[in-house]
């Protein structure tokens, strides 16, 4: 069941299973070396998965390693049918300067979005009102615009892009095969589960 999100609701951040409200962000495009915009509506129109990777700030430490790790998996993520967008409260001009100066970002070719007012960050519950920075939030949005995966880490714990790829592949698989479920550590090509009365108490046997 899908639930709609009220942008004016005081109940907190968007929850998994809810429809994500349309948003638009200004981006720095490292491929073209130019500024542009990206919107969820356009992503949905193109039938793409959308992966949002929020991080605290440009020119910081753990963030540099995370964005380098993400660059290593970017082509694999795109192969699943996704666009990856990194987001912080910095401006697009700071993104450009960081990309130019930081060697860890040499291979980064994904859109780098700016959310200086924190509007989109607040939708996903990653905006820290006290610091004006984002927490390390990763969100997978289906081509239908539904939030299917959510992860939020504090400032001092970096993420793993290979795990992000695994979760995206699993999400894409069950979207195409709605009667199946992916068990722990499932990777592309592994056995899946088909929930039902016959599987109760027999999961071990089903996966052997």
Residues serving a catalytic function are: 63
Residues 6 or more apart whose Cβ sits within 8 Å of residue 52? 85, 87, 124, 137, 138, 139, 141
Q: Using an 8 Å Cβ cutoff, are 134 and 127 in contact?
A: yes
CA atoms within 13 A on the CB side of 59: 11
Cα–Cα distance, 12 to 7 (Å, whole number): 10
- Rounded Cα–Cα distance for residues 170 and 142 (Å): 12
As a whole number of angstroms, the distance between CA 105 and CA 27 comes to 16
Three-state secondary structure of 83-106: EEEEEECCCHHHHHHHHHHCHHHC
> Other C-beta atoms within 10 Å of 90: how many?
24
């Amino acid at each position: 069941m899908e639930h709609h999100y009220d942008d004016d609701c005081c109940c907190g951040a968007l929850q998994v299973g809810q429809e994500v409200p349309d948003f638009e962000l200004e981006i720095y495009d490292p491929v073209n070396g130019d500024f542009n915009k990206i919107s969820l509506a356009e992503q949905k129109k193109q039938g793409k998965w959308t992966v949002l990777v929020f991080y605290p700030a440009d020119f910081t430490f753990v963030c540099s390693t995370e964005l380098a790790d993400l660059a290593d998996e970017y082509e694999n993520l795109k192969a699943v049918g996704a666009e990856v967008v990194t987001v912080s409260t910095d401006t697009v001009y700071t993104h450009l300067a960081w990309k130019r100066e930081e060697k860890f970002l040499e291979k980064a070719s994904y859109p780098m979005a700016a959310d200086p007012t924190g509007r989109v960050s607040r939708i996903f519950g990653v905006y820290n009102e006290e610091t004006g920075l984002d927490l390390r939030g990763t969100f997978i949005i289906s081509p239908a615009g539904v939030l299917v995966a959510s992860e939020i880490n504090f400032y001092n714990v970096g993420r793993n892009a290979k795990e992000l790829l695994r979760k995206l592949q699993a999400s894409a698989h069950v979207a195409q095969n709605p009667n199946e479920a992916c068990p722990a550590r499932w990777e592309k090509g592994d056995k899946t589960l088909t929930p039902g009365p016959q599987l109760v108490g027999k999961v071990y046997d089903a996966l052997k």
